[in-house]
Chain A
């Protein structure tokens, strides 16, 4: 019971840390780090939900009668989520490299202002 509380609390802690880094910090790199932390929290929560007390890993071993096992479905989900998360991270980092080259800054408000000014110029 206590273990569950700790796991759930730390998953929520990771989620909140990630949301803080995305919403309140200004540096694009920090926002991306926050995204990675947020994703870790979601993954931990999902795997914790699938846990069963005294369960075994969902892998059959030849010559052993299978005991109770933990839920394999969240595990399959999280496995794909981790790999997708890496793809998202890589794409975000590639965009950061381009932003740095084009605007010379990684402050998201400055970049947003530059973008707004550019679109205003394009319209007029």
Chain B
């Protein structure tokens, strides 16, 4: 169990750091979905299948879609080049 937990925790933390640093917004959203997916595996390992199911369905699925839709709506779907104020 410890090897699996370590591996998933590393993936999760790396994805979390990518979420807050990636300049491409779509990639950052995908990284957030990876965080949720890794988290749901951890929940399953911690004997919480209900929570794992909810995290996988809501966190990894619907949240990612919602974020992507918002990105499209505010015009950040692709990386925005040109507007200095918006690039962080």
Contacts and interface: CB of A to CB of B under 8 A. Distances in A.
Q: Do chains A and B touch in the complex (CB under 8 A)?
A: yes
Interface of A: 2-3, 6-7, 9-10, 13-14, 17-18, 20-21, 25-27, 29-30, 32-34, 36-37, 40, 43-44, 47-48, 50-51, 55-59, 69-70, 75, 78-79, 82-83, 85-86, 89-90, 93, 96-97, 100, 105-107, 110
A69 B12 CA distance: 26
A91 to B, nearest CB: 11
A37 B19 contact: yes
Given A17-B19, A85-B59, 15 more contacts: A6-B5, A9-B9, A14-B12, A17-B17, A29-B70, A30-B20, A40-B35, A40-B36, A78-B48, A79-B54, A82-B58, A83-B58, A100-B75, A107-B85, A107-B86
Contacts of A57: 47-49
A25 to B, nearest CB: 6
Contact residues on B (Cβ < 8 Å of other chain), bracket: 35 or more
A38 to B, nearest CB: 10
Nearest to A86: B58
Given A78-B51, A86-B62, A48 B46 contact: yes
B67 to A, nearest CB: 7
Nearest to A20: B20
Contacts of B76: 29, 106
Interface string B25-44: 10011001001100100110
Contacts of B20: 17-18, 20-21, 25, 30, 33-34, 37
A85 B57 CA distance: 13
A70 B46 contact: yes
B2 A47 contact: no
B58 A7 contact: no
Nearest to A107: B85
